[in-house]
Amino acid sequence: MKKNELKQVYPSAKIIKLNEIVQRTIKKIKKPFYIANFLFSLDGRISIYFPKKNINLTPKSICTEKDYLFFKTIKESADCLVTHTNYFINYEKKIYGNIIDQDNKPHIILLSNSLNFKISKKVVSLKNRLTVITTCKKQSKIKKLRDQGFKVLVENNKKNVSAKYMDKYINNKGFKIVYFIAGPKIVEDMINKGLLDTLFCTMSINIVGNNIFDTFIRGDILRRDISPFLKNIFLSDEGKGKKIKQVFYKFNFGK
């Protein structure tokens, strides 16, 4: 396989390009189409705790060039990205990579309950394509952002920004392809509210351990059984022996 291809093994066997997978996913949409994508280890970790940096990060052992290319392929098709406070806290440090800066320039929705991120020159450069949605009650923080030209929406009487509030804003703005590069909480709420359209899950065949970790479904919001439809399974191999490194799954909701 080439670096921009995967081997589909379900429902039929064939080699398929990453871009074709994405384009088939988003064709003929009539409303905002919500896509989430998670990379996780065989033991279910999307991130583990790194004490030296005092932060949860994706372990490098589960990352490959192929899953990063797939991430970029989805991102380049989106006109709106949804992200979270931790990304902006580490934006200048490049801990998560320069995801926002690459290629196309989609609108960004930052979900932040605390507004505890530095308003750096790089963040200020994004303000014309950035909307901050918050539940923060500290008017001084909200005013500081608004005074610098940021659009800040406040969802009152909530602990976390809700999927319903965000969905209303996205519909009003007319965004078509919305890609979540956020943490699991908002995605879980999207699933719970029946709003998520497609979930891509990439399982790396690595066991990473660590007793402080995150999963893509925490279970603190989801209170019922959900049965998404398994649409496709793809394999990625690498090396001379063509060892299977990752398994890509595509799930549809309500389709």
Query: Domains of the chain (ranges plus CATH)?
Result: 5-252 (3.40.430.10)
Whole-model pTM?
0.91
Inform me whether the pLDDT recorded for 181 exceeds 70. yes
Range 227-234 average pLDDT:
96
The span from the CA of 7 to the CA of 169, in Å, is 38
102: its two tokens: 């690459």
State the amino acid at position 37 in one-letter form. Answer: N
- State residue 218's pLDDT score: 79
- The confidence score (pLDDT) of residue 52 equals 86
Q: What is the CA radius of gyration of the chain?
A: 18
Query: Shortest CA distance to 61 belongs to which of 74, 77, 42?
Result: 42
pLDDT at 97 over 60: no
In this structure, what token pair is assigned to residue 136?
A: 């923060």
CA distances, 3 to each of 16, 69, 232 (Å): 11, 8, 19
Task: Give the pLDDT confidence score for residue 145 in this predicted structure.
Answer: 94
Alpha-carbon distances of 95 from 52, 137, 184, 239, rounded to whole Å: 13, 28, 18, 27
- The CA distances from residue 140 to 62, 116, 153, 178, in Å, are 41, 12, 14, 30
User: Which residues, 6+ apart, have CB-to-CB distance to 100 below 8 Å?
Assistant: 81, 83, 87, 91, 108, 126
Distance CA 208, CA 252 (A): 28
Q: Is 60 exceeded by the pLDDT of residue 142?
A: yes
